[in-house]
Structure 1
Amino acid sequence: MTDTASTPRNAFPMARSCPYDPPDGYAALRAAPTISQVTLPSGRSAWLVASHADARALLADPRLSISRENPGFPSIVEMREAPDLKVTPSLIGLDPPEHTALRRPVITEFTVKRIRGMGPGIQRIVDEHIDAMLAAEKPVDLVASLAMPVPSLVICDLLGVPYSDHGFFQERSGAMLNLTLRPEQRHAALSDLSNYMDKLVTRAEAAPGDDLIGRLIVKTRETGEYDHDQTRDLARLLLLAGHETTANMISLGTVALLNNPEQLDELKADSSLWPNAVEELLRYFTIADFVPARTALADIEVGGVTIREGEGVILLTASADRDEAAFEDPDALDIHRAARHHLAFGYGVHQCLGQNLARLELEIVYRTLFDRIPDLRVAVPEEELPFKHDSFIYGMHALPVTW
């Protein structure tokens, strides 16, 4: 084992040259004889893990900590202290056993059986928005008319958040994920959203409703584990993740399928193919380019080097899901591929809590959209499509379509 990478340090994050593929540099990282160190915008260094096997193994390794409190934590963007900000470490910032204790009361809300029971409600929401699309003047922006409102309505209904406030929390969520904003701008958005959720949870404490927040309050009060700040920040995390990620996958997946008309025709002819197609689309885009960074709690030998205790590690899930060693012809979209072992939802104890909900929403949206508007097409030249190169979560700012 060597102690340092054999290749010069690149800067990270890296830019995409094609809107449908991860940055070109990821393939070179996978082909290198060892894992590599990169330089972050802060000037600090971190290890990049690009292969599927190494990323999957490390995502399940308890010797890596997800806590931002570690001195060596490799922040991608500059973060400054905000004295008036009400934030406690949430699910994506805690290690076991604290993470386990916080996740346990809410995991029953996301079982396959419970999520499947939401199917008729999701179908109704999708149909209503496609009705509005069909009645509107063309072209229609698929992001504004379908991709964003559907998951926003679903997560609001699940959590007990008034959908009438969607403009407020969508704007703040977008700012929090924007790589180009100054730290104080991201903090202001986070503060606004945290204060909003604080008031909502306070109201729910007085009269818990039949929604996730209300049920969580009742359940944790019964066990003596209730904590206002943790409930507020968990609800904020679920609200953000519940609409941003699925909304971006809806628009990206729609474009990818339109760009592969033969596969789309198969899906239109056989709806049983949709669940597998959803898995392949998730692998193909892996819109969270990398999972939350980690810090080594001990020396770890991986990918031809020794990661030393205290060093930062970034796991490139978008690279792992294009790894030739894990997926044959990985840069091609193939709806028949067995892609269930992709890392689009992460892996290990921090695997995405809402993955079953995301899968169901995507399946219903794609199937219904192409059933009801079979001649859907993009209304502008591809070079005019505004992809989100400025966000932690990849996607599209708009998608003009017609039929």
Structure 2
Amino acid sequence: MERPAPLEPPADLRRLRTDLPIAPLAFPDGPPGWLVTRYEDVRAALADPRLSSRRPHLNSHVRASLITPAEMAALRPSDLLTSDPPEHTRLRRLVTREFTARRINQLAPRIQDIVDEHLDALAAGPRPADLMTTVALPVPSLVISELLGVPFADRDRYQRLTAELLSLDRTRDQLLASKAEMKSYLLSLIGTKRTDPADDLLSGLLQTQRTDPAVTDDEIAALAQLILIAGHETTANVFGLAVLLLLRPPRLWDTVRQRPDLIDGVVDETLRYATVLQFGLLRVAREPLTIAGQPIAAGERVVLHLPAANRDPDRFTDPDRFDPDRPGAARHLSFGHGPHHCLGDQLARLELRTLLTTLLRRFPDLRLACAPDEISTHRHRVIHGLPHLPVDFTSNPTVFGCG
């Protein structure tokens, strides 16, 4: 968990990837398992059906389990993260239609409007400004709220609950309370949508439920929780990290502003270089298998370390350098691989592309309002990112579309 610098992964990962790519790993609870750090091994394991996503406890490789499996099952049933085919296939099919390329393209004009509105507020607001609280968090929060059917007016509540659920320093009672509150909130919202449906994902799931009674309210709430959290927290932090990486020396901001064709490269390189799922993915061996010559016994836990894999020099040349023009940056594993490849990757890409493109056009002289090494990152949360990003700019930023 200890980073030599805010944007650098723990130093030991480099040594392990070279000397012991399948390393024995002590867990805070239960028997030991294994840590996988090489790109090819992680990628193959993500697609290996012998490794199950059904795991004993969330984040148990970095935090002792605070709640029992029975409590976990009662508070949140199986979801897309913690299920295997055919159950995972059934659940994914329930929400896939909201994340097709056609549906995402239909959202593009609305996403642009949301971005413009928040950058208008940034331009008119006090300076220095905190880009995380004024733009990075509210934009994806509003997008996912509209898609899901969650009132944006509730954002303070669900953003607070998200932070609590992703934190690694909560007590047992605090974690149970946060999980119970999130479930209660979503079930109440489901009840509202049942009597007053709209054109949103929650209403669509309830319509499916009418013809498929196997779809329960608890399942709908679990799917909504995952999409709500992943749909705003990860995108917000990738955006904040991308802006920081462009503004810090050697200030690639100006290079990208002059070459907008690099925007997609910025997105993928940020996802690779500053992988936000900072502790990896946990799997459990269904049966005996071998990973890179190391036997893994049935029932043993395996952590697939995405940040280490994304810095593997055997896959990415000079991997510790941030390069928006890097060939093959899109081969990163930040969206996963195989059956659990992130459902919302195209939505996240569209939001990030729109945010960065518009910010670069409207704020050509955007700059950090403090030294880069004074900007802190989340240390005890599942998602790596920035709590705050202070920025400044001229008093007359370029009007969108006119500069």
When normalised by structure 2's length, the TM-score is: 0.92
Alignment partner of 2:18 out of 7, 22, 31: 31
Q: Aligned partners of 1:114, 1:272: CA distance in 2, in Å? A: 24
Report the AA paired with residue 191 of structure 1: A
Give the whole-Å Cα distance in 2 for the aligned partners of 1:112 and 1:76: 37
Partner of 1:160: 149
Q: Is the 8 Å Cα contact of residues 74 and 294 (structure 1) preserved in structure 2? A: no
Counterpart check, 1:344 vs 2:344: no
Instruction: In structure 1, give the amino acid aligned to 2:99.
Output: F
Q: Which runs of 5+ in 1 are unaligned?
A: 1-13
CA distance, structure 2, for counterparts of residue 288 and residue 34 of structure 1: 19
Say which SS state the counterpart of residue 293 (structure 1) adopts. Answer: strand
Task: Say whether residues 1:22 and 2:9 are aligned partners.
Answer: yes
CA distance in 1, matches of 2:281, 2:64: 12
Secondary structure of the corresponding residue to residue 47 of structure 1: strand
Residue number among 304, 310, 314 corresponding to 1:321 in the alignment: 310
Alpha-carbon distance between aligned partners in 2 of 1:261 and 1:51, rounded to the nearest angstrom: 29
Moved more, 168-177 or 104-113: 104-113
Contact map agreement 1:176 1:187 (CA 8 A) in 2: no
- Contact kept, 8 Å, 1:276 with 1:336, in 2: the verdict is yes
* Deviations, residues 249-306 of structure 1 (Å, cap 9, x unaligned): 1111110011255643232123222122211111111100244311111111112310
Q: Which piece of structure 1 moves more, 186-195 or 325-334?
A: 186-195
The 3-state SS of whatever aligns with 2:302 is strand
Inter-CA distance 225–78: structure 2 relative to 1 (3 Å threshold): closer
Aligned AA for 2:381? S
Q: How far apart are 1:224 and its partner, in Å?
A: 4.7
4+ residue runs over 4 A deviation: 82-85
Q: Which amino acid aligns with 1:169?
A: Y
Hey, what's the Cα distance between the residues in 2 that align with 1:305 and 1:135? Answer: 58
State the partner residue of 2:44. 57
Match of 1:310 in 2: 299
Is 1:376 matched with 2:366? yes
Q: What is residue 136 of structure 1 aligned with on the other side?
A: 125
In the superposition, the TM-score normalised over structure 1's length comes to 0.92
CA distance in 2, matches of 1:224, 1:87: 18
Map of 1:360 onto structure 2: 350
The aligned counterpart of 2:400 is none
Say yes or no: does 1:282 pair with 2:268: no
**In 1, distance between residues paired with 2:389 and 2:20?**
40
Q: Distance in 2 between matches of 1:134 and 1:33?
A: 50
Question: Which secondary structure does the structure 2 equivalent of 1:117 belong to?
Answer: helix
CA contact (8 A) 1:42 1:78 kept: yes
SS of 1:93's equivalent? coil
Contact 2:242–2:266, Cα closer than 8 Å, also in 1: no
Q: CA deviation at 1:228?
A: 1.3
293-302 vs 200-209, greater mean Cα deviation: 200-209
1:225 is displaced (CA, Å) by 4.0
Matched, 1:394 2:381: no
**Does residue 253 of structure 1 match 2:242?**
yes
The separation in 1 between residues aligned to 2:348 and 2:250, in whole angstroms, is 24
Equivalence map 1:115-130=2 (5 Å): 115-130=104-119
CA distance in 1, matches of 2:359, 2:141: 17
Superposed displacement of residue 317, structure 1:
0.5
| 1:80 alignment counterpart | 67
The answer for the alignment partner of 1:10 in structure 2 is none
Distance 1:34 1:161 in 2: 43
The 2-side partners of 1:208 and 1:314 are apart by: 41
RMSD: 1.8
Distance 2:81 2:280 in 1: 10
Number of matched pairs = 388
Q: Distance in 2 between matches of 1:250 and 1:20?
A: 14
**Structure 2: segments with no counterpart, 5+ residues:** 394-403
Q: For residues 280 and 210 of structure 2, what CA distance do their matches in structure 1 show?
A: 32
